Amino acid sequence: MWVSPYVRSRTGRLLLERLAENDSQELETEKTSWYKCESEALLEELQAKFVESSLDQETEAFLQNCHEKADAVFTQIGHLLFKGFFGFFMSVTTANGILDRGSMFVFSDAQFQRLMNVDGSWKTGTMLDLGAGDGKVTSVIKHHFDEVYATEQSPSMRWRLQDKGFKLLDESEWMKVDFKFDVIACLNLLDRCDKPLTLLSDIKETLHPETGRLIVAVVLPFRPLVESGTKMIQPSEVITVHGNLWEEQVQSLVSDVFEPSGFTVELFTRVPYLCEGDLYKDFYILDDALFVLKISQ
């Protein structure tokens, strides 16, 4: 437990210890809510498809790594200065790729296996990760596939992907491949791409029609914005998601977006979308709905 060396009085040190202890207890309590779903707010058919996830060792390891990186104060200051200066010339994503920081965590291998209803020995042919970032999100499941392809707009993130052995496809050409993908991952991309409905249509045409699966993660509440250089702009295609509660927006995504696009939900869960922190916070967190979809027959 951290205690400031500059607080000399016993009362002051005890106060800091108590504050640190309370923060830790609040975080542990908060973690239990990351995975909860009020299923009665969903239609009965969708209720049966919810799988409750939980905090596991892989997630804890990512959080521990976040804490350790945040403790490297001088490194964090250097990152802050770099982004403050180069933020005028490049996107946040590209800056993070250069610094090798800001990595994300969506699911563990164990959570993936449960959602896909497979075991650790399961393996299939090809996977495509759309908007893969630095590749760390899907690196945890890479061993389940013979070949892993990826698309990414940011130059620095493409370097990271190549280092990890991903086969890069052009972001405007991937849908023209002469084979069908077994699994396509579209993780936190629908709210950050210019044409999300076109994207879903392209995925449907590129996914194996019978055995293919689409893994979609969507941050809720749904607030679409597109990174354009150093600015964030509105997408040209609009997805309307109804409701205020997480469960209401999940139901709307399924009824108003996925099903009209030709997909059926197999299973879904609620997970935290975690991001490495900075000088101010050890990590940042958003609320994800994670779906496994198949093409409607």
| DSSP secondary structure of 115-173 | HHT--TT--EEEEEEET-TTSHHHHTTGGGEEEEEE--S-HHHHHHHHHTTPEE--TTT
Mean pLDDT of the chain: 85
Question: What per-residue confidence (pLDDT) applies to 8?
Answer: 44
- The CA-CA-CA angle for residues 98, 103, 108, to 5°, reads 150
Q: How confident is the model at residue 153 (pLDDT cuts 50, 70, 90)?
A: confident
Query: What are the φ and ψ backbone dihedral angles of 103, each rounded to 5 degrees?
Result: -65, 150
Question: What per-residue confidence (pLDDT) applies to 31?
Answer: 83
Q: How confident is the model at residue 248 (pLDDT cuts 50, 70, 90)?
A: very high
Over residues 88-137, the pLDDT tens digits come to 555 666 655 555 555 889 999 999 999 999 999 999 999 999 999 889 89
- Report whether 55 contacts 34 (CB < 8 A): yes
Residue range 62-72: mean pLDDT, rounded: 80
Residues 6+ apart with CB under 8 A from 58: 108, 109, 110, 140
- Whether pLDDT at 5 is above 50: no
Residue range 190-210: mean pLDDT, rounded: 97
Q: How far apart are CA 101 and CA 89, in angstroms?
A: 18
Q: Residue 155, preceding bond cis, omega within 30 degrees?
A: no
With CA atoms as reference, report the closest residue to 100 among 68, 130, 64, 69.
69
pTM score of the predicted model = 0.84
Are β-strands 145-150 and 124-130 bridged in parallel, bridged antiparallel, or unpaired? parallel
Q: How confident is the model at residue 81 (pLDDT cuts 50, 70, 90)?
A: low
Class of domain 45-76+88-295: alpha beta
- Whether pLDDT at 69 is above 60: yes
Q: Which helix (H) or strand (E) holds 231?
A: strand 231-233
Lowest mean pLDDT among 35-44, 75-84, 257-266: 75-84
Residue range 47-66: mean pLDDT, rounded: 95
Lowest mean pLDDT among 203-207, 273-277, 278-282: 278-282
Q: At what angle do helices 92-99 and 73-86 cross, to 10 degrees?
A: 140
pLDDT greater at residue 210 or residue 134: 210
Type of residue numbered 290: L
Q: Is 143 buried (19+), middle (13-18) or exposed (0-12) by CB count in 10 A?
A: exposed
Over residues 161-176, the pLDDT tens digits come to 988 899 999 999 999 9
